[in-house]
Amino acid sequence: MTAPFDLNDDQVVVIIGTGAGGGVLANELAQKGVHVVALEAGGRHLPQDYINDEWDSFGQLAWLDARTTSGDWRVAKDFSGLPAWIVKAVGGTTTHWAGASLRFQDHEWKAATTYGPVQGANLLDWPIDPAEMAPYYDKAEDKLGVTRTGGRDGLPGNNNYKVFEAGAKALGYKQVHTGRMAINSADGDRVACKQTGFCFQGCKWGAKWSSAYTDIPQGEATGNLEVRDRAHVLKIEHDDSGRVTGVLYADADGNQHLQKARVVCVAGNSIESPRLLLNSASNMFPDGLANSSGQVGRNYMRHMTGSVYAMFDKPVKMWRGTTMAGIIQDESRHDPSRGFVGGYELETLALGLPFMAAFLDPGGWGREFTTALEGYENMAGMWIVGEDMPQETNRITLNHDVKDQYGLPAPNVHFDDHPNDVAMRNHAYGQGMAVYEAVGATRVFPTPPYPSTHNLGTNRMSENPRDGVVNKWGQTHDIANLFVSDGSQFTTGAAENPTLTIVALAIRQADHIAAELGRGTL
Amino acid sequence: MLEERQKLTRRTLLSRGVAAGAAFIVGTGFVTGRDAAWAMELEHLQPTTMATLIQMARDIYPHDHVADAFYAAAVKGYDDAERAPIIETGIAGLDAAAQGAGFASYLATGWERDRVDLLRAMEDSAFFQTVRGGLVTGLYNQKAVWPLFGYEGESYSKGGYIDRGFDDITWV
Ligand SMILES: Cc1cc2nc3c(=O)[nH]c(=O)nc-3n(C[C@H](O)[C@H](O)[C@H](O)COP(=O)(O)OP(=O)(O)OC[C@H]3O[C@@H](n4cnc5c(N)ncnc54)[C@H](O)[C@@H]3O)c2cc1C
Ligand code: SF4
């Protein structure tokens, strides 16, 4: 055992955040013998601590530091202080996530080329090809134990899925199944899913993959990884040559420490990662670190989303069983004849009564609202997730009028829907409602987007340093020993839920960092 | 609330109070349902104000199968020193609007639709939005309310639904 490491150990790799990106990177590097200090703003919560209660769990795990919103998206009106639903805990948002694990389609790596110019969209091809990613997707699927890949069986369909599948088939959809899920369908390293229905609240059985109880302890077991929880990074420091040298963080008691580093990897999710780079501005880098392109914080994407709930004359009890194990993939293709570029997925989704009251029709009241909730037992639900257009003006900026608990400017999240997003959402609402009407829905609810669960793109990857923040390895174009390791690297968002790709990129980045450290080039 | 009720028997409650609208009895420092099935002692809010607030809560999220006691529980927290003044002012405004529409008070209206009209006219106000927003969790996050909507809540301690009907519907 070599961990724990000294604050003055300037040979360690410091990783900021321990979610999908940071947690996986930390373990992968530790497995290769690299010394890692992972700093996590949140505390350690494990399956025995998770709570089968929507609001109590939210209070336990969610990131609730000050944030503000602007733009024409409905979230800015409905949830002005909560632009995103993200976790602050060891394991990050992989404690809350539902586990849907899909690969990008090949053409989605090359959105600019495939879609051609789209007015107002800052489309760009990823500097990576699908062939290069394929072996990393294989590794990521094995790590997460994704169903319907690598010989693993699919999950059984719950009531919500049965309604969804019947509607989809009646409509003629062909690619309908219980999803590729990072949830065990059979006992293995993790137990098989017990269908408790609280996937969003942290899986108390540990059937769902989360870095909190897989990669993190695996990395710690090597002796090469030290995770400091309740360690909130405030600033990244650099020297006169422009290399980063360490990070300043506040511990649980608010005491500040400087951890030295040979390499720093930022994985705080797509709001905090650019905010940290911006908050680390110095005389040498007045616009923030790694921001010579001016793209830090820009091109914020959140996926085109929405939900469709439907009421039937008979019970569904959608809350029973997996929250999201069901998918229709037929609409994920790129087919501009539908009136938009890119595609979307339809995925089953269930909320408990407390969240349904908050999210079905935010701001709604009166009998139109209450009769809907009175049919809760007879409701089925699905979530829409599609590719949204990156726009330079959708961005994270520092709001100097609002400070967090450390006195640092809070992030403002600005988002306007692109006309392509609106057209796609309307199409998806239509199809989603048709699915349920095909099996006898008596009332349908095209429900507006929730606070963002998928936050992407704010430190985008680009071939040319002029166009983005990081190169194909997630290494910042400007500073060789500063990396970005989370979903903020995404050049474009694709139609699929992002986490499998975040994990595949982290595994690939670990190979690169370890190799460069070995060569002495970092 | 039920404990408080034991201190005030049904008969004393009803004898010490006067009717407030169709549903409530108010007296010095308390409000109770007409049937005295529940009662709430108050420290900061006028009893009639609380009675009106409970009615307003029901009119915002009307569920005919949910008893007043749950609405009372949802708004009880406003009876504190800090928030009471906002509620007194807001309810006074609501009563003034009711009088403007020809009723003696908000509680004196007979039809729900008359009260809903009054609420619609003020739905963008901070007062209305505070009360409505608070109810989303105040009412629907009461565990005792969940079974009234069929929601089963926590399931881990029962082993999930793997053997308890996660796929039990047969009508599709
Ligand atoms: C309810 C819900 C359901 C979801 N379902 C799915 C799904 O089915 N499929 C899918 O692909 N994706 C899903 N997601 C999205 C998925 O969880 C995220 O895409 C993924 O976790 C993002 O990984 P990340 O590494 O970018 O950030 P995170 O996992 O959010 O990790 C970031 C970590 O960094 C920490 N941090 C931030 N700033 C600092 C700082 N300054 N100092 C120290 N630590 C810091 C945070 O506390 C956090 O732990 C879901 C999300 C939610 C909320
Ligand atoms: S439904 Fe399955 S994966 Fe979801 S929380 Fe329950 S056991 Fe875990």
The 10s digit of each residue's pLDDT in A468-498 is 999 999 999 999 999 999 999 999 999 999 9
CA distance A304 to chain B (A): 26
- Give the chain A residue whose CA is nearest to the CA of B163: A194
For residues A321-344, give the mean pLDDT.
98
* Beta-bridge mates of residue A486: none
Whether residue B11 is contained in a domain is answered as: no
Which ligand places an atom closest to the C-alpha of A44? 1
Distance from C-alpha of A475 to C-alpha of B72, rounded to nearest angstrom:
57
Count how many pairs of residues, chain A against chain B, have C-beta atoms within 8 Å. 113
Number of C-beta neighbours around residue A1 at 10 A: 8
- Record the pTM: 0.97
For residue B154, which residues of chain A lie inside 8 Å, CB to CB? 52-53
The 10s digit of each residue's pLDDT in A500-519 is 999 999 999 999 999 999 99
Nearest to A183 by CA among A153, A139, A218, A160: A153
Residue nearest to atom 39 of ligand 1 (CA): A268
Residue nearest to atom 2 of ligand 1 (CA): A97
The 10s digit of each residue's pLDDT in A361-385 is 999 999 999 999 999 999 999 999 9
For residue B153, which residues of chain A lie inside 8 Å, CB to CB? 52-53, 352
Residue A211 beta carbon below 6 angstroms from any ligand 1 atom: no
3-state secondary structure (DSSP) of residue A22: helix
Distance from C-alpha of A290 to C-alpha of A482, rounded to nearest angstrom:
8
Whether residue B60 is contained in a domain is answered as: yes
Whether residue B24 is contained in a domain is answered as: no
Query: Which stretches of A329-377 are assigned E, i.e. beta strand?
Result: 344-348
A101's tokens? 């694990």
Q: CB distance A365–B61 less than 8 Å? A: yes
Q: How far is the CA of A202 from the centre of ligand 2 (A)?
A: 8
Strand A409-414 versus strand A395-403 pairing type: antiparallel
* Domain housing B52: 47-166
Residue A296, pLDDT above cutoff 90: yes
Whether residue B86 is contained in a domain is answered as: yes
Whether residue B98 is contained in a domain is answered as: yes
* Interface pTM, i.e. ipTM: 0.94
Q: State the pLDDT at residue B1.
A: 45
Residue nearest to atom 8 of ligand 2 (CA): A203
Pocket-forming residues, ligand 2, beta carbon under 6 Å: A 183, 193-199, 203, 205, 207-208, 321-322; B 160
Domain count, chain B: 1
Distance from C-alpha of B53 to C-alpha of A350, rounded to nearest angstrom:
32
Residue B6, pLDDT above cutoff 70: no
Q: State the pLDDT at residue B7.
A: 55
CA distance A271 to chain B (A): 26
Q: State the pLDDT at residue A2.
A: 81
For residues B163-169, give the mean pLDDT.
98
Whether residue B22 is contained in a domain is answered as: no
CA distance B151 to chain A (A): 6
Q: State the pLDDT at residue A1.
A: 61
Residue B3, pLDDT above cutoff 60: no
Instruction: Assign A47 a pLDDT band (cuts: 50, 70, 90).
Output: very high
Side-chain-facing half-sphere of A246: CA atoms under 13 Å? 13
Whether residue B87 is contained in a domain is answered as: yes
Whether residue B107 is contained in a domain is answered as: yes
